[in-house]
Amino acid sequence: DWTMASYRDEAIRKIREQVGDKRVICGLSGGVDSSVAAVLIHEAIGDQLTCVFVDHGLLRLNEAEEVVAMFRDNYNIPLIHADEADLFIGALEGVSDPEVKRKTIGKLFIDVFQREAARIDGAEFLAQGTLYPDVIESVSFSGGPSVTIKSHHNVGGLPEKMGLKLVEPLRELFKDEVRALGRELGLPEQFIGRHPFPGPGLAIRCPGEITRDKLDILRKADAVFIDQIRKHGLYDEIWQAFVAILPVRTVGVMGDGRTYDYACALRAVTSVDGMTADYYPFTHQFLGETATRIINEVKGINRCTYDITSKPPGTIEWE
Ligand code: XMP
């Protein structure tokens, strides 16, 4: 694609000009945005870049392993993997308010990130995969008072606090453009096409209090749902699809026994930029088959619902 090829060259030129011979730290989340930013910056300045992956233990099934394998093993990009699941999940104990969850995760994330970054000698820049919609949705609606619907923990005062200058090569791009740039940079298609995933991860797909038990159940159910979507060839038509585990247990019957397990909600939406969204019109056949698979394959869930709320008035995530 001609446009993206020239965007890439221009972005590389700008990164080199901004950074010179200084070192850059890039926070990797495992998502498309930070990955594309990291690969682009690596192409511009090579080993002056070190990536830091703060693993908060709220990722999807096998996700942490995949991120590490891709960056360290495939791309040979220096990567620090901070496995801090115990720290995050411990701090979230007893927390059920969505904003308190986000702030708790955001604060710890910054602490861990700062600690790891301090080990990288002489870093002067911090790279972030901030996109254009992140910039506008978390600032304000023009003319009115500043309104934040959800505090996004990946856009904030981190660089000032750390005395680092920002490198944000994707700041003018929308999601589809980031994907095109990722393809231009040769990232694997399976990875580029991945649905967006929120910084606070599974914490905001587990309304109410988080427990390890619920997170494990959620990961398994989510993997089955995504497997179903891929098998039916629907993955690329959907902006985001995931399972939320509900803070309620319901009565069911399995074989000749009674069950008392969690209910879950499937969520799948179409969207252009995440600012508005419609629920995806699965067939009843698909929904029935998926519910049966989740209930049979995932111990701990005995009821499945499908969320048909649009955004607005709903949001994409449950919290
Ligand atoms: P909502 O739920 O507000 O989400 O309709 C819009 C898009 O943003 C993602 N999202 C987040 N991303 N930190 C993030 O990095 C957050 O705190 C956060 N909250 C929501 C959501 O997954 C969707 O793509």
DSSP codes of every residue in 215-261 = HHHHHHHHHHHHHHHHHTT-GGG-SEEEEEEEEEEEEEEETTEEEEE
Residue 311 lies in a domain: no
Domain that holds residue 178: 2-192
Residue 226 lies in a domain: yes
User: Could you tell which of 32, 56, 134, 150 is best to mutate to test the pocket of ligand 1, judged by most ligand atoms within 8 Å of the CB?
Assistant: 150
Q: Are residues 244 and 276 part of one domain?
A: yes
Structure confidence at residue 149 (pLDDT) = 59
Residue 221 lies in a domain: yes
Q: Cα(275) to centroid of ligand 1, in Å?
A: 9
The pTM of the full predicted model, rounded to 2 decimals, is 0.87
* Closest alpha carbon to 161 in 220, 107, 216: 107
Q: Cα(135) to centroid of ligand 1, in Å?
A: 13
DSSP, collapsed to helix, strand or coil, labels residue 188 as coil
Q: Is 31 annotated as a binding residue?
A: yes
Which CATH number belongs to the domain containing residue 155 in this structure?
3.40.50.620
Q: Are residues 223 and 141 part of one domain?
A: no
Q: Are residues 236 and 104 part of one domain?
A: no
User: Could you tell which of 34, 109, 316, 319 is best to mutate to test the pocket of ligand 1, judged by most ligand atoms within 8 Å of the CB?
Assistant: 316
Number of domains into which the chain is organized: 2
What residue type is assigned to position 302 of the chain? Answer: N
Ligand 1 atom closest to 277 (CA): 5
Residue 199 lies in a domain: no
ipTM for this prediction: 0.99
Structure tokens at 118: 């301090």
Q: Are 73 and 214 in contact, with CB atoms under 8 Å apart?
A: no
User: Could you tell which of 34, 131, 151, 152 is best to mutate to test the pocket of ligand 1, judged by most ligand atoms within 8 Å of the CB?
Assistant: 152
Structure confidence at residue 144 (pLDDT) = 36
Residue 203 lies in a domain: no
Residue 206 lies in a domain: no
Q: Any residues with Cβ below 6 Å from ligand 1, and which?
A: 102, 149-150, 152-154, 196, 198-200, 240, 274, 311, 315-317
10-residue stretch averages of pLDDT, the chain, 319 residues long: 88 97 92 93 96 95 92 90 97 97 94 90 91 69 45 60 89 92 92 90 97 98 98 97 98 94 98 94 98 98 98 97
Q: Is 271 annotated as a binding residue?
A: no
Structure confidence at residue 166 (pLDDT) = 92
Q: Are residues 185 and 143 part of one domain?
A: yes
What are the angstrom distances between the C-alpha of 280 and each of 98, 224, 266? 25, 17, 11
Q: What is the DSSP track for 147-179?
A: --SS--TTSSSHHHHHT-EEE-TTTT--HHHHH
Structure confidence at residue 10 (pLDDT) = 96
Q: Are residues 150 and 238 part of one domain?
A: no
Residue 185 lies in a domain: yes
Residue 106 lies in a domain: yes
